[in-house]
Chain A
Amino acid sequence: MGAHLPILPVVLPLVGAMLVPIVTLASRRAAWPLAVGAGLLATVAAGAGLVSVALHGTTRYAVGGWPPPWGIEVVLDPLSAFVAVTVAGVSTVGLLAAGPAAERLPRHAPAAFYALALIGLTGFLGMVVSGDLFNVFVFLEIASISSYALVASGGGPALPAAFRYLVLGTVGASFYLLGVGFLYALTGTLNMADLATRVAGQHASPLFVGGVAFVTVGLAIKMGLFPLHGWLPDAYTHAPAPVAVLLAPVGTKAAAYALARTLLYVLRPSDLPVATILAWTGAAAILVGGVLALRQTDARRLLAYSSVSQMGYIALGFGLATPAGLAGAYLHILNHALMKAALFLSVGAAALQGRGPAVHALGLGRGMPVAAACAVVAGLSMVGVPPFGGFFSKWYLLEGTVGAGEPVLAGVILAGSLLALGYMYRFTEEVWLGGSGASPTPAEDAPKGGHAAPGAGGTPGATPSAVAIGLVILAAVTLAAGLGNVALVGVLAPVTGLR
């Protein structure tokens, strides 16, 4: 078992995904605990991997016993183990909290919902732990196709959003594949470690330039980096509430991780302006996403544009590529996943009561004080208030901009926090005080099951305990990630170089 540890985070959700439909034949109620259990096991396996990496260093695992560079390799190093724990953990909380809402999904749901969510989790985790460029493409598509299907399951306005997501996502994945083809034609290998050594002296080749360009643009589309974020706002707005909780936190992060892995550790295009472009598009994303989030009246769309803004921070950190900048970007992968899961979950909790999705109709303060308090914690983390996690990732990013001698980028980071203060203040205020009108505003486009009518099942006014538990876990980990930021940076030190 121990020898197979690196592959377990990928295998366990996949097995869970296959078991869910079978178990559902016997009992409809068994799907939820099974899915949560599979996610939990994957989280434990990823956590054990992180501990093992922190103690014994990088672990390599040859899939099927075929030795790399010919076989596919799974690599757990501090970065991949850290992101794997983030993805698995946040997804498990999402699966737990999705239960009450998934009960209301139409037709063959919730079995299909849990199976697709677990396949998606398999894909995201596979992208993170894989040490093979083509294997990353395969897992990317596994994750993407299940994401498209999950978004489309909302019906109504989710359908055009899902189709747009599918077309743009496929273009992104195809660009990535084309870039991998260029790099394969140049080096004759797909193994990341092997390719990193072989590509070192070939930076002048047009195949290298084309490969870097296509891989970067392809993954930038998948991570929703402005101006390639076209699919993101509609997909997150119209996805059913439990789907948004699962996809919004981790979907873009896995692609961001793949971008960091290929650019910073495999290709290292030091003589191409890729880092500069990433840093400045990231800065543009922070500002444009923030300004657009300020203008939104739909809470889900507000959070989606806030995601565009927050992904900008991560891209900016990659672009800086200084130790502090990288540490900030990697910490922000964790912190943004936590805060965005909590915020989408609070919108989902409001939807369970028939409130929202308009920001002014959220009103969780009465009846759901726990959910409202956790949303405030996530909001504070987003703005960057100590001691929550978001403060420290932005702090390290600021340190990175100062170290790189980029005062303008430092100003953008601060301006982005001000914008976040603007939209999160409005959001959290309405979470506490909003929805005071006699009748909650019905959803304009109420997707079946996503936003049920007031009082449609469940006790109006009470937070379902699973949702409350999920929110409390997310808020607690947000706080812990802030207080324990030195330890996290210490774990990541071998990949960031920050002591």
Chain B
Amino acid sequence: MNYPFWIAIGLLMLGLYTMIAHKNLFKKFVGMSVFQTAIILFFMLTSVKRGADLPIVSAGAVGASGFMNPLPHALMLTAIVVAVATAGLALGILIRLHATYGSLEEDVIAAGPAPADAPPAPGAR
């Protein structure tokens, strides 16, 4: 009955696993985005009611029980803005990382900056 919550939990685990398991920083970033999105999905699910209407009050509205809860939507609008700002900054850092090290692989970066005129390291993306 609550299978949408299992989807949210699955996405959460998938994002966490991607961040831990992959050595490529861009894949870590993708995992982070999936992780954030799973939480947004979770909040959305808390607002859902079977047989409920859009939370727009019209003439002759009858109590709150017939409407979905609009607050999680408003909260997640903010959370999405936060996620977009984080994503923008993360991508900016990744671009500068790639320019400095010639790769986004963790072990290549750990080895130090690439020489200015060297070709990108093998396997670099």
Chain A residues at the B interface, C-beta cutoff of 8 Å = 134, 137-138, 141, 145, 148-149, 152, 155-156, 159-160, 162-163, 166-167, 170-171, 173-174, 177-178, 181, 184-185
Contact = CB atoms under 8 A, between A and B. Distances in A.
Contacts of A162: 93
B100 A155 contact: yes
Nearest to B88: A145
A137 B36 CA distance: 13
A177 B28 contact: no
28 contacts: A134-B75, A134-B78, A141-B82, A145-B82, A145-B85, A145-B89, A148-B89, A148-B93, A152-B89, A152-B93, A152-B96, A159-B100, A160-B97, A160-B110, A163-B25, A163-B93, A163-B97, A167-B28, A167-B29, A167-B90, A170-B36, A171-B19, A171-B32, A177-B39, A177-B79, A181-B42, A184-B46, A185-B46
B113 to A, nearest CB: 7
Contacts of B86: 141, 145, 166, 170
A148 B100 CA distance: 18
- Category for how many chain B residues contact A: 20 to 34
Given A145-B86, A181-B42, A159 B96 contact: yes
A228 to B, nearest CB: 14
B67 interface: no
A166 B89 contact: yes
Interface string B15-42: 0100100000100110010011001001
A178 B42 contact: yes
A174 B31 CA distance: 13
A177 B78 CA distance: 12
Contacts of A145: 82, 85-86, 89
Contacts of B96: 152, 155, 159
B46 A159 contact: no
B109 interface: yes
Contacts, number: 71
Interface of B: 12, 16, 19, 25, 28-29, 32, 35-36, 39, 42-43, 46, 72, 75, 78-79, 82, 85-86, 89-90, 92-94, 96-97, 100, 109-110, 113
A148 B90 CA distance: 9
A167 B93 CA distance: 11
B9 to A, nearest CB: 10
The 8 closest A-B pairs by CB, nearest first: A141-B82, A159-B97, A185-B46, A163-B93, A152-B93, A160-B109, A178-B39, A181-B43
B59 to A, nearest CB: 23
Contacts of A171: 16, 19, 32, 35
Given A152-B93, A156-B100, A181-B43, 15 more contacts: A134-B75, A138-B78, A141-B85, A145-B85, A149-B89, A155-B100, A160-B110, A163-B90, A166-B86, A170-B36, A171-B16, A171-B35, A173-B82, A178-B12, A178-B42
A185 B5 CA distance: 13
